[in-house]
Amino acid sequence: MKLTISIPRGARVFLLDDDDVRIKWFLERLISITIAKEAPDAIAILDSYPLFDFVFLDHDLGLFTGTEGDGLQVAQHLASRGFDGHDIVIPARCGRGDIAQPTFRG
């Protein structure tokens, strides 16, 4: 599956992920991004910064590393704060073990 997401220059982007390969993938494509590797850190960051324009949450966070929490927990927290979920993407491993990655244009 290929997903194209247009992120304008200057957009505030947040990533929750514990996979260094995926983090590197995002860093190679975005000029500015805020990253957390664990759900409690993500919640603290999201609570202390103005809302981000795009939020990427790892659904299977901790699957291989034992990281605390997951992207769903963070999404539920955002929803409890009134965030409508617009421009949230939850990338996850496909059944084949591949990573579904968005392609950026902007």
Whole-model pTM: value is 0.77
User: 15-72 pLDDT, tens per residue?
Assistant: 999 888 889 988 988 888 999 999 999 999 999 988 888 888 887 776 655 566 778 8
3-state secondary structure (DSSP) of residue 89: strand
Predicted local confidence at residue 40, as pLDDT: 92
pLDDT at position 73 over 60: yes
CATH of domain 9-65: 3.40.50
Phi, psi of 77 (to 5 degrees): -65, -45
